[in-house]
Amino acid sequence: MANTNIPEEIYSKAKSWLQPVFDKGTREKVENLINNNPEELIEAFYRELEFGTGGLRGIMGVGTNRMNIYTVAKATQGLSNYIKKMFADLPELRAAIAFDSRNNSMKFADTAAKVLSANGIRVYLFDSLRPTPELSFAIRSFKCHCGIVITASHNPKEYNGYKVYWQDGGQIVSPHDKGIIQEVKAITDITQVNFNENSNLIRVIGSEIDEMYLNTISNLSLSPELIKKYKDIPIVYTPIHGTGVKLVPRSLHKFGFNNIINIPEQDIIDGNFPTVKSPNPEEHATLTLALEKAVEVNAELVMATDPDADRVGIGLKLPNGQYSLLNGNQAAAILIYYILKQWSDRKKLTGKEFIVKTIVTTDLLTQIAKKFNVEYFEVLTGFKYIADKIGSLEGKKKFIAGGEESYGYLYGDYVRDKDAVVSCSMFAEITAWAKSQGKTLYQILLDIYKEFGLFKEHMVSYTLKGISGVKRIQEIMETYRKNPPKNIDGKAVIIIHDYLTQISTNLETGKETKIELPKSDVLQFITSDETKVSVRPSGTEPKIKFYFSVKGKLNTHDDVDIKLGELDKKIEKIVKEFHVE
């Protein structure tokens, strides 16, 4: 028989998917795997697709280890059980659901809506694809108790995902993440899922939320008078086949910009992302078509959003007429510098405002905040921690902006997640502001470097697969804890932050300080010349990541290439010191 090489436990699990409770198409695909593709069958059934601290993410297909309507349904039943326990005293529970352009996203969203409604929960379901930040806005607008967005962000086309949000509009954090995980794990059989949809509890939403969302964003504009003067600056924008296709151009127009140049073939909504190898705006190749168009139209600004439009990649024109892409740290610095300067110039700062960045995001943001006497906070990696900080200070202090090195930014507190829609509009506004001074966006960046220091960051990721890889990553972290580097590039290490023990140690004085953040397996080493190396295992992939940050001085714009070259060489040397075999 074809199944002789299939472990009995996996074979039994796969056979259970041939029951009538599963739809005909699913049963046929499982049958085909059993008879013709034992290797793929094993991959599809050897484990349960893990519901992590943010939700589900995996390759689409049949099986317990794949994203499909049944794994989505089980996750939703677990979520339903949790919120019914958490809000047992309320007469009505509400949830919002959005989805992106990926294959099967609408189907998965519809499945989640049916299960929630079957459990007596009122559902606000978007009528078509929408940016993830608009899901956060809908949760807050409808006073929902939770939300779901179907997206795998910038992952390859084979993937999809399921992210859970809490009633504040932010992604779930402790203790709710752990509580939901327990409930999802308790769903051990598909028969425990309530599929009896109550259509009366499902309300389809769309344009009315779009208008509220876009009006809220447009009211954040800080220089509408300048935009009127420079409304025709050429701006190239691409949604990379994703959800930004409608709302980003509309937001730009609401701000007052008229000359938005698109890439027609990338405006097509397509979960196969046919024009790119990866729909990730961090990768230069993904913006190839946009950059070609920028050269053609002599654009002042180039922008590309990922499929769920919560992250944005920025391209700008150099003095030689060529285009360069900003990294996430540079873009965050420009955005936050502009916002704080405008707030300061307009006497809007009262002393109660703050910004937030993650611990692996550039310290340039810290220096900018200090200049304007604005309080700053550092949180663990992940925008959900920025959202959590906003929520914890609500009513006490005013959140202005936040950012992370992985291309996610937020201005304003109307949502609790990174938002590429408002970010695109603000970068366009900053470009107009620069033009009003006879400058380009690139020159604004150099001005920031001159004033605050030339910061250069670099990240290296090592993939270590399998059980041996997990063990090796643990060994690496243990080694750095037991024997931390005494010097980095010849400079003494003077501070060690250990976010797992929650202790910060000053090696010069011996003083230990408690880190007031949740435990996380992250180490940071800081030297006497402000070089910083951060080491952390990835929470979602078999990787260990090293973040390198070095600092220099920029006296004139003309020196920038030389100075950056010196910092690049410094980083190269440090990377070799931390190389992982």
Q: Tell me the Cα Rg of the chain.
A: 25
Q: How many CB atoms lie within 10 A of CB 197?
A: 17
Distance CA 130, CA 244 (A): 8
How far apart, in whole angstroms, are the C-alpha atoms of residue 70 and residue 392?
A: 36
- List helix spans (H) across 119-161: 132-141
Please state, in angstroms and rounded to a whole number, the distance separating the CA atoms of residues 217 and 211.
Answer: 10
Residues 62 and 30 sit within 8 Å (Cβ to Cβ): yes
Phi, psi for 489 (deg, rounded to 5): 55, 40
Could you tell me the end-to-end alpha-carbon distance of the chain, in angstroms, rounded to an integer? 43
Q: Is 153 designated active site? A: yes
Handedness of CA 69, 71, 72, 75 (dihedral sign): positive
565, with CB counted inside 10 A (0-12, 13-18, 19+), is exposed
- The first and second tokens of residue 305, run together, are 């959003």
The residue annotated as part of the active site, out of 153, 218, 251, 534, is 153
**In terms of C-beta density within 10 A (0-12 exposed, 13-18 middle, 19 or more buried), how is residue 225 classed?**
exposed
The amino acid at 207: S
Decide if 535 contacts 477 (C-beta within 8 A): yes
What is the per-residue DSSP string for 151-200? Answer: --TTS-TTEEEEEEEETTSSBP-TTHHHHHHHHHHT--SGGGS-----GG
Residue type, position 364, single letter: L
Other C-beta atoms lying within 10 Å of the C-beta of residue 43 = 17
Strands (E), 277-419: 301-305, 312-317, 323-325, 353-358, 375-379, 398-404, 408-411
Could you give the CA distance from residue 413 to residue 386 in angstroms, rounded to a whole number? 11
Active site residues: 153
